[in-house]
Amino acid sequence: MEGISVCRGAPSIFHLFFANDSIIFCKATIEEYEALQKTLQIYEQASGQQLNRAKTSMFFSSNTAEEIKNEIKSRFGAQVIKWHEKYLGLPSLVGRNKKNTFKEVKEKLAKKLVGWKEKLLLKASKEVLIKVVAQAIPTYTMSCFKIPNKLCEEITSLIRSFWWGHCKDERKMALISWEKLCTPKACGGMGFKKLKQFNLAMLTKQEWRLQSGKYSLMYRVFKARYFPNCDCAQASLGNNPSFAWRSIMVAQAGVDNGCNIQIWRDKWLPTPLTHRVISTPSHLPLEARVEELINREEGSLKTDLVQQFFLPHEADAICGIALSSNLPDDKKIWAPTANGGFSVRSAYKIAVEMGVGDATGSMSDDGNRRKFWKAYGD
């Protein structure tokens, strides 16, 4: 069995296993079918378990010959589906109608709310149900895909109606705007989530994984397909991208040896407002790296060079950077957290403060969708 790769240079994937959800990939040939069948037989004999073929389905690509499909189907004894619907609760293939693809998230929430509305609940109980259950239902989907704005609004409308109503069909006038209720309790609100901004924060976590974890299967597949010749931070949408990559691109946005940090373009200074050099580029070229400011033999900064090329306050900030004695490779940090690690909580807070996803900061606009990542991501 050769497995399947998404493009040239990508790793071959033979299977995805998670608990009892399993997908096996192979080419639609009699030879690979027989190899798979033999593997399953060995497993059945060794474990004493039997493959339930009634719950097993096969999905063929559109360019598979009909005679091959029929031959494998008759030998394997499982049903053939035209559209592989879900894996781990998420759609495997996303079509043009995104709202219809993710409508089950809304339907699942609506069923929960209908049951709750039939009970007489205190506001405190409603708050717990909204935070722990209602707003948690779309979390897993939001961590992988950009949910349509219209669907986010409809889900918010269902939750808002549940908060203000008491009975199943009762509608009450909202005494306070939902915007106010979504502010933290310390600021007079209830701390409910803004779904658009929360979706952006969850997707930013995936972007962070691609920038920081370069040995995972996810990174190796996406790099081969979308940014084979550059870093994830410089990646573009590319041709015919998957919806998963489109979703991650919505969120795209310390010094060690300085080999990978550009002096004039990257954010590397310990200055909270910009983290970027504002001095006018002088004798150093635009592509100059921070390593050119470091004396590698002594493990110290070239202070004379720094004071010559940078404004006084920037020179002081640069000279105050502590260099590692063994000069390890550079790495990205998330500035809003004390330890430099990414957290969804901090990303959500920034998205709300900057209004990303609101009417004045639409996530569909290329400038607004990246502004908080560009401010905080390096």
Q: What is the 3-state secondary structure (H, E, C) of 303-363?
A: HHHHHHHCCHHHHHHHHCCCCCCCCCCCCCCCCCCCCCCCCHHHHHHHHHHCCCCCCCCCC
- The pTM score is 0.71
* Three-class DSSP category at 366: helix
Confidence category of residue 260, pLDDT binned at 50, 70, 90: low
Q: How far apart are CA 7 and CA 225, in angstroms?
A: 6
* Three-class DSSP category at 4: strand
20, two tokens: 């009892």
In sequence order, which ranges of the chain are alpha helices (DSSP H)?
30-47, 66-76, 98-101, 103-117, 123-129, 139-142, 149-164, 178-181, 195-212, 217-226, 243-251, 303-309, 312-319, 344-353, 366-369, 371-376
Confidence category of residue 368, pLDDT binned at 50, 70, 90: very low
pLDDT at 378: 41
Does the structure show a pLDDT above 90 at 220? Answer: yes
245, two tokens: 């990559």
Does the structure show a pLDDT above 70 at 3? Answer: yes
Stronger pLDDT, 309 or 167, i.e. the higher one: 309
Q: How far apart are CA 86 and CA 93, in angstroms?
A: 8
Whole-number average pLDDT of the chain: 81
Average pLDDT over every residue of 184-192: 90
Average pLDDT over every residue of 37-51: 92
Highest mean pLDDT among 46-60, 115-129, 166-180: 46-60
Does the structure show a pLDDT above 80 at 367? Answer: no
> Which of 291-295, 297-301, 347-351, 373-377 has the least mean pLDDT?
373-377
CB contact at 8 A, 118 and 68? no
Q: How far apart are CA 61 and CA 2, in angstroms?
A: 16
Residues 6 or more apart whose CB falls under 8 angstroms from that of 178 comprise 156, 160, 192
**Residue 107: exposure state from Cβ atoms within 10 A (0-12, 13-18, ≥19):** exposed
Confidence category of residue 361, pLDDT binned at 50, 70, 90: very low
CB contact at 8 A, 106 and 155? yes
Q: How far apart are CA 90 and CA 111, in angstroms?
A: 19
Nearest Cα neighbor of 281 from 262, 267, 261, 257 is 262
CB contact at 8 A, 109 and 160? no
Residue carrying the six token digits 């209602």: 134
Does the structure show a pLDDT above 70 at 294? Answer: yes
Task: Annotate 163-179 with b (16+ C-beta within 10 A) or e (fewer).
Answer: bbeeeeeeeeeeeeebe
Average pLDDT over every residue of 75-92: 78
Does the structure show a pLDDT above 70 at 373? Answer: no
**Residue 95: exposure state from Cβ atoms within 10 A (0-12, 13-18, ≥19):** exposed
User: Alpha-carbon torsion 357, 91, 141, 12, what sign?
Assistant: negative
pLDDT at 283: 72
Stronger pLDDT, 117 or 55, i.e. the higher one: 55
pLDDT at 36: 92
Residue 59 CA from chain centroid, whole number: 27
Residues 6 or more apart whose CB falls under 8 angstroms from that of 136 comprise none
Task: Please state, in angstroms and as integers, the Cα–Cα distance from residue 215 to each residue in 209, 212, 221, following that order.
Answer: 10, 9, 10
Does the structure show a pLDDT above 80 at 360? Answer: no
Dihedral pair phi/psi, residue 55, rounded to 5°:
-105, 10
Stronger pLDDT, 361 or 45, i.e. the higher one: 45
* Three-class DSSP category at 93: coil
Confidence category of residue 377, pLDDT binned at 50, 70, 90: very low
**Residue 226: exposure state from Cβ atoms within 10 A (0-12, 13-18, ≥19):** buried
pLDDT at 41: 94
Average pLDDT over every residue of 28-53: 92
Judging by DSSP bridges, how do beta strands 79-81 and 86-87 pair with one another? unpaired
Stronger pLDDT, 84 or 317, i.e. the higher one: 317
